Amino acid sequence: MAGDDETGSENDQGAGAALRLNLALPNQNVVAVAKHYAEKKHLRAHQLTELNAFLKEPASLREAKLLTNIFAFGNQLEQIVKSKPGFELSSDLEANIQKYAPAILLSDKISTYKGEGPTTCLLVCLFSLDTAVVTG
C-alpha cells in the first residue's frame, strides 16, 4: 500500500507538470484572435511581435506587465494634461460675453430662456452682492 501511495503521488506530480506546461503555452485560438484584432487596430510590425511574445509568457507576468503599462500610460497622460496651456478667452469671445450676457441675465424673460432655477440663482447672487434689485 505504501508503494501504491508513492506511485500515485508520482503520477500526480507528472500530471501537474504536464498541466503547468500546457498553461504556459498560449491557446492558438487566442493567438489568432489577438492577431486579427491587432490587424483591425492597425498595430505596427514591432507591436505585433511584442504581442506574440506577450502571449507566450505566463499569466502572472502578463498581469504584472499590464499593470506596469497602465501606470506608465497614466504618467504619460498626466504629462500631456499638465503641459497643455490653460484656457483663455479670445478677445472676440470676451467682448461678446460682456455685451450679451448682462442683457440676457437681466432680461425679464430669463425664466422663458432657462426656467425658474437660473432665475432664482441669479436673484440670490444679486441679493448677496447687495445690489439694488427690485423684487417682483
Q: In which residue ranges of the chain is pLDDT below 70? A: 1-26, 104-105, 110-114, 118-119, 130-136
| Angle, CA of 84, 86 and 88, to the nearest 5° | 135
Report pLDDT for 110. Answer: 66
Instruction: Collect all residues with Cβ–Cβ distance below 8 Å to 34 and sequence separation of at least 6.
Output: 51, 55
Q: Which three cell numbers stand for residue 43?
A: 498595430
Cα–Cα separations (whole angstroms), residue 69 to 41, 110, 115: 18, 51, 48
Residue in this structure with the C-alpha cell 448682462, named with its chain if needed: 102
Report pLDDT for 73. Answer: 95
Decide if 63 contacts 71 (C-beta within 8 A). Answer: no
Q: Which three cell numbers stand for residue 17?
A: 507538470
Cα–Cα separations (whole angstroms), residue 65 to 8, 31, 33: 38, 18, 20
Report pLDDT for 77. Answer: 93
Report pLDDT for 65. Answer: 93
Report pLDDT for 116. Answer: 74
Report pLDDT for 1. Answer: 46
| Angle, CA of 79, 82 and 84, to the nearest 5° | 110
Alpha-carbon span 69 to 56, nearest angstrom = 18
